Amino acid sequence: MTSGHHAEDPTTDPSTRHPTPAGDAARGMPTIWEQMGGPMGLVDSGLPVVVFVVVNAIAGLGWGIGAAVASALLIAVLRLVRGRPVTQAISGLLGVAVAAFIAYRTGSAKGYFLLGIWSYVIYGAALLLSILVRWPLVGALWEGLNGRGSAWRKDRSLVRRYDLATGVWVLVFALRFLVQNELYDSDKVGWLATARLLMGYPLFIAAIVVTVLIVGSAAGMRLPGWMQRRRPDQADAGQRRTDLPDADQRRTDLPDADQRRTDPA
């Protein structure tokens, strides 16, 4: 009698053909770098500052303010074209507009940086307070972005990791305030702009790396692919897997059991 079923290929692991939902979720979870906008986020945040300082030095404060606002408007449009959230585009434009307004009201180029300097105090204080009340903001934001609610607070070890990671960001904002406020008081606009850029995304990237090292796989945090080091043996293994024929393809290459039975001996 014929069963009408093909034999299961013993070399094929069923789990490789049917990925688990958890595995799919882990692979689909965006990195922190991706959630911050990637390389274009670096350009978006730094361009208005560079434009303001350069045009202010060449043509004066009024032209510098106008150029900064125009560049921020262009970036907002490009963000919308790239499919970034509308709130992200509007918030970036609004931040530059407020900074430019402060510079206009104070009549000084350094006034452009005043909003950013004091925002560091607010952010740092909020982060520090979140640690004291046992709701570390790094944990609350990360778990909220990935739709896991507040269940993470039941894991004391994970909460401690989030406390340490949040403390790293408190230091980041404290360092930003201390350095840039000193440059502001010294009327060093050029150095203030340089510090604003260097203590922006470069310092953020360093803090992200430290955050991932502290929290790591316990919460599904991972670095962008270009930051991850792969061992040569892992790369070779991945290449070998891509060179192997698919399990389903191997089964179609084998002669059908019914066909073998109808062939003459």
Tell whether 235 is covered by a domain: yes
Neighbouring C-beta atoms of residue 183, cutoff 10 Å:
20
Note the pLDDT tens digit of each residue in 6-29. 444 544 444 444 444 434 444 455
Dist CA 197 CA 189 (whole Å): 12
* Burial class for 234, CB neighbours closer than 10 Å (0-12, 13-18, 19+): exposed
Tell whether 139 is covered by a domain: yes
pLDDT on residue 21: 41
Note the pLDDT tens digit of each residue in 224-259. 565 555 555 555 555 555 555 555 555 555 555 555
Neighbouring C-beta atoms of residue 197, cutoff 10 Å:
16
Tell whether 168 is covered by a domain: yes
Tell whether 167 is covered by a domain: yes
Q: Which residues contact 210 (CB under 8 A, 6 or more apart)?
A: 165, 168
If you average pLDDT over residues 35-39, what whole number do you get?
54
Tell whether 184 is covered by a domain: yes
pLDDT on residue 90: 82
Tell whether 16 is covered by a domain: no
Reported pTM: 0.68
Residue 132 pLDDT > 50: yes
Among the residue ranges 5-19, 33-47, 73-87, the one predicted with the least confidence is: 5-19
Contact 52, 65 (CB under 8 A): yes
Note the pLDDT tens digit of each residue in 218-230. 666 766 565 555 5
Note the pLDDT tens digit of each residue in 190-225. 999 999 989 988 898 899 899 988 987 666 676 656
Q: What are residue 242's phi and psi, to 5 degrees?
A: -75, -25
If you average pLDDT over residues 104-121, what whole number do you get?
94
Round the CA-based radius of gyration of the chain to a whole number and report it: 27
Dist CA 51 CA 136 (whole Å): 36
Tell whether 2 is covered by a domain: no
Domain count for the chain, please give it: 1
If you average pLDDT over residues 80-101, what whole number do you get?
83
Q: Which domain holds residue 182?
A: 28-242
Dist CA 212 CA 218 (whole Å): 10
What's the Cα-to-Cα distance from 95 to each of 4, 91, 129, 189, 201, rounded to whole Å? Answer: 69, 6, 24, 19, 17
Tell whether 252 is covered by a domain: no
